Amino acid sequence: MQRRFFLKGAGAISVISVGGGIWRAYDTGALSVGKGPAFEPWKDWQESKDNPLALVRAAILAASPRNTQPWLFKVTNSSIGLYLDSQRYPGAVDPYLREEHIGMGCALENLMQAATANGYAASATLLPGQMVEASAYSKYQLVAQVGLAPGPKQHSKLHDAIPHRHTNRNPYQLTSLPEDFVDEIRQIASEETDVKMFVFAADEDRNRIVDMMSKACNIVFTDPQMVQGSDRFVRHEWSDIQKFRDGLIPDEDGQTPLTTAMRKVAPPSWWRYTFRHKVWPTTSYMDSVRATPFYGLIAVRDRYDLEQSLRAGRIWQRAHLLATAHNVAGQPLNQIVELVDHQRSLNQQPKALAELAELIGDTDWQPTFMFRFGYPIRDVGPSPRRPVQACLL
């Protein structure tokens, strides 16, 4: 199979010829990483200063599972209601919308950080309740109400990190993180009564987590229903990225810039061939997971409690913002926790839950979110975001 590359700049591809076909890079976004309408919210996030919409512009830059962006906002001059759009979920991967609620907590944290920076004294009321199967949720469900009153403007390093926080799936350097940073992460939920942070940096713990991840991925990534639901939010085509402005995109997949460009410009049949026959080097998901100096786990008293899930999301967003402020990269690693939901929904023996309980050594806490931190081998750009107008009720 013949391959010719015409390079423009460092690792960028302008035209690629494969098997007699030519694909222009500008038609596929290979030369437009982080550009176009889908990425504008990262640039204009501080418009509408001293206005409640400024808080929403910050909120929509939060993390969410598979970049589903399940949030909607009802805005007045004195309050902002946060609503979960139950239709924006990845199927069997999240059968109780537990991860969607964590994503809503992430948006709430960004909103609260922006409130202080924009001169508001904000108070958040989280609605109580228990999770049910996805089909039982109403289309739009109020999960939190934020009251707004005038207050002093106070910027923080977490607020300033909002436009720079991105999920980085690249391999990390096996370099230990500073002890003061690790201590900050360890204590980040110290004021919460129903949320606790566990951290793992010892070799024995890291190897154990990698083994658990590998087993979980063999189930999560091969179950047809889970794959089908997750694929709903995978955007391969540049035109779809700009149209839907959500989901996972090739630029975030943890591959080299050249490999990413090849994925974007070559036809799917060619890419499947190269992947199957290993004629093009790629970084596997587990390779990236192994290259990790620090793992974290957020646990709650009841993993199916709505309010506790929102609080867990706030803690994750806060931790990731803090990491960003310290030039540390982060990535969720939730396959093990998703396996707990999967086994529960199928009435299977809760083996994943038992393994996680053994990992943290405390049966009073239920793991609900896992992640990794480290110094990445390369930076990443932003993920697509829907415009503010599309997120308002």
pLDDT for 143 equals 98
Which of 53, 12, 24 is closest to 388 using CA atoms?
53
pLDDT for 19 equals 45
Domains annotated on the chain, with CATH: 38-163+381-391 (3.40.109.10), 166-232+287-376 (3.40.109.10)
pLDDT for 14 equals 43
Dihedral pair phi/psi, residue 293, rounded to 5°: -90, -15
Q: How far apart (Å, rounded) are the C-alpha atoms in residues 45 and 30?
A: 25
The SS3 of residue 91 is helix
H or E stretch at 15 = strand 13-18
pLDDT for 18 equals 45
Which of 362, 358, 339, 357 is closest to 349 using CA atoms?
339
Distances (CA, A) of 79 to 55, 122, 160, 313: 11, 9, 23, 21
**Residue 309 burial class via C-beta count within 10 angstroms: exposed 0-12, middle 13-18, buried 19 and up:** buried
Centroid of chain to Cα 257: 21
Q: How far apart (Å, rounded) are the C-alpha atoms in residues 208 and 20?
A: 47
The length of the chain is 393
Residue-wise pLDDT tens for the chain (393 aa)?
333 333 333 334 444 444 444 444 555 565 567 789 999 999 999 887 779 999 999 999 999 999 999 999 999 999 999 999 999 999 999 999 999 999 999 999 999 999 999 999 999 999 999 999 999 999 999 999 999 999 999 989 999 999 999 999 999 999 999 999 999 999 999 999 999 999 999 999 999 999 999 999 999 888 898 888 888 999 988 899 999 999 999 888 888 887 777 777 776 666 666 666 666 667 788 888 888 999 999 999 999 999 999 999 999 999 999 999 999 999 999 999 999 999 999 999 999 999 999 999 999 999 999 999 999 999 999 999 999 999 999
Question: Token pair for residue 268?
Answer: 């799917």
Question: Token pair for residue 148?
Answer: 């707004």
Q: How far apart (Å, rounded) are the C-alpha atoms in residues 116 and 231?
A: 37
